[in-house]
Structure 1
Amino acid sequence: MTETIVPKSIEDALRDGEEYSVELEQLMRNARDASDFLKALAHESRLLLLCLIAEKERSVGELETILSLRQPTVSQQLARLRFDGFVTTRRDGTTIYYSLANDNVRQVIRVVYDIFCSGGPTAALCRPGTPGA
């Protein structure tokens, strides 16, 4: 059985030539929200940061070392992720730790990982110690 993305009520409204419906308006709002969500993910450094933070809570220093990125770059991307609601922070003395803000972010990162890093054509690129990793 094929899963439908667009609810039947919207399909019916579009098929019947209705130009506007509450359902269609909601679908448009949801599409805009999804687009904003995906735009925030559409940056290599932010994706890498989210993948690492998905494993466990991490500090800026840890992320900087693991990714070999400069601290201002890491901090700038973390600020964007925090602004967009992808990560939350916890302070311990002078160290700030970052963790994923919610399960929606975790699910998306898991799907991206599953597609690109576990068994797909680019899986070898995601495993440490392999050429191109």
Structure 2
Amino acid sequence: MSIVSRRLEDELREGPEISPELDRLMRNARKASDFLKALSHENRLLLLCLLAEGERSVTELENILSLRQPTVSQQLARLRLDDLVTTRRDGKTIYYSLANDDVRRVISVIYDMYCGTSASDAK
């Protein structure tokens, strides 16, 4: 399976000009890098795993993770800034959920790799 097209590889070898395809690839690489940076913090990753199961309030997340409210709120703010979670307000309570199915798919793969039964069987 080829990730980078043969044409793009040839353009990279030929010179410093940036083609539209290379420009698009570079923009998407930046998005992917930002996404992976957001996932690289263990508390943010745990929050996303919990939110993959369904919508939760800040208080629920605090209690499950045994973390203080400022810590949970700070990490949720980062995830929101990166467009990985969305919010819904009900009175004074704010509920968080995953922003889209792409986030859910990545979290699912990470969970399967590191937390699923096949991961624990291999150890």
TM-score w.r.t. length of structure 2: 0.89
The structure carrying a bigger helix percent of its residues is 2
- 8 Å Cα contact 1:9/1:23 also seen in 2: no
Alignment of 1:41-120 (within 5 A): 41-118=39-116, 119-120=118-119
Task: Tell me the amino acid that sits aligned with residue 95 of structure 1.
Answer: T
> Is 1:19 matched up with 2:16?
yes
Cα RMSD (Å) of the superposition?
1.8
Partner of 1:33: 31
In 2, the alpha carbon distance for the partners of 1:93 and 1:123 equals 46
In 2, the alpha carbon distance for the partners of 1:122 and 1:54 equals 23
Task: Tell me the amino acid that sits aligned with residue 77 of structure 1.
Answer: Q
What secondary structure does 1:72 align onto? Answer: helix
In 1, the alpha carbon distance for the partners of 2:107 and 2:60 equals 20
Identity %: 69
Where do 4+ consecutive residues of structure 1 move more than 4 Å? Answer: 121-124
The 1:4/1:19 distance shift into structure 2, 3 A limit, reads same
The 10-residue stretch of structure 1 (106-115 or 44-53) with the greater mean CA deviation from structure 2: 106-115
* Cα deviation digits, residues 74-116 of structure 1 (max 9, x gap): 0111111111101111111111110001111111111111111
The 1:121/1:4 distance shift into structure 2, 3 A limit, reads farther
Q: How many residues align?
A: 121
What secondary structure does 1:19 align onto? Answer: coil
In 2, the alpha carbon distance for the partners of 1:4 and 1:103 equals 24
What secondary structure does 1:4 align onto? Answer: coil
Considering Cα pairs closer than 8 Å and 6+ residues apart, tell me whether 1 or 2 has the greater RCO: 2
TM-score w.r.t. length of structure 1: 0.83
Task: Tell me the amino acid that sits aligned with residue 30 of structure 2.
Answer: R
In structure 2, runs of 5+ residues without a counterpart are none
